[in-house]
Structure 1
């Protein structure tokens, strides 16, 4: 720290700080926004506002994002991509095909692979267009083994199953519904059954979205207490979404076997 300057340290969802540009101590008169990591004069520090209130310091609140209108573009962007590595890793650990639930199946990249390998599949997604895309795929086969269901996370139900695949879907479950959803996942798997999929970490850019569910690594590992962990890979990097928007990713890639 230099002189009377301090570094503002705030939770991850505080993206920017709005400072009164007219205040004489504001070192950023041309721009009222600074990042939480920026060195600013102590008199502008958020922690002192309550005492002195000499300047306007506002915190930019996290903005909700409506992903519903983005799904069609997402389905188009990922068209033709291969099945997720977590699914392939789980399938390698089964000696024979069984019954799988593809939770948040999307346009079907994982469902297609399960069917190709002789699995019976219940594909669940909250967006009806996902199934329009899936059923129109040229590589879709063994459709006699496929059942589809349109349902949101909070309403989805399924019978006991050998495998639950949730590729990049669970973070989109609203936090108030996640505990019940995870309990359904655990209870529907018999000993020897497997879960594979992803959870998003607390340092992921989307952790600021209040309708998403994110976990610390400790929280993610605690969810797996009833499982033997066969894969737990942490990925954290700057990259892009399928729609080419910049994003900091913090992901837990998981394959786990019910004890």
Structure 2
């Protein structure tokens, strides 16, 4: 992703981001996860880059047994509290991994990566290929990534440069065999207000891929 990232290492960068803010995310599940996963039969799920746990807790609340993975210990602590408060702690397992360096073991009926994009070092291509390999036969790989900056933010207004994915580019990088079927491949424009509250939009890219065997 970034071509000129900050010099802070990934673990320190993300831990500092969570540690020095009471809450980073809204606590609500990502809408595209809800849209794409609501009709799936619950089983085992792997949530990559789970942050404070909103997506994993939503899945667990629908009957999934979820392994949530993040690089930040603080984020995982908050995720565990969220799960306990939602009454789904028994269906969640929280693991700390620096994805691209270590990866959780096992096969899952659903592997989800929501906005797995970082301003610090992340071998995104490798992580997404590992994510696909972790999908059990009959299972689903669900990816959602930002397709560009918000409409109010120019590429030169950010402290680092980024190369954003394309719908076809991610599929080419995954190089999935014929045992996979594309269910969803879509660019979705959504509201994205500026920090000052002004209007804006952003395009997110979503892929739902079904492993048939």
TM-score (norm. length: structure 1): 0.61
Q: What's the offset of the Cα at 1:109?
A: 0.8
1:199 is aligned to 2:152 = no
Q: What's the offset of the Cα at 1:111?
A: 1.1
Look up the match of 1:17.
none
Look up the match of 1:183.
129
Q: What's the offset of the Cα at 1:74?
A: 6.8
Look up the match of 2:62.
117
Alpha-carbon distance change, 188 to 105 in structure 1, aligned in 2, over 3 angstroms = same
Distance 2:68 2:86 in 1: 13
Alpha-carbon distance change, 91 to 249 in structure 1, aligned in 2, over 3 angstroms = closer
Partner-residue secondary structure (3-state), 2:136: coil
Look up the match of 1:220.
170
Partner-residue secondary structure (3-state), 1:147: strand
Distance 1:75 1:164 in 2: 28
Alpha-carbon distance change, 62 to 151 in structure 1, aligned in 2, over 3 angstroms = closer
Distance 1:230 1:74 in 2: 37
- Equivalent pairs counted in the alignment come to 196
Alpha-carbon distance change, 114 to 251 in structure 1, aligned in 2, over 3 angstroms = same
RMSD: 3.6
Which structure would you say has the larger Rg? 1
Look up the match of 1:64.
6
Structure 2: 5+ residue stretches without partners: none
Look up the match of 1:38.
none
Q: Work out which structure has the larger RCO, using CA pairs closer than 8 Å and 6 or more positions apart in sequence.
A: 2
Distance 1:215 1:144 in 2: 36
Distance 1:252 1:84 in 2: 13
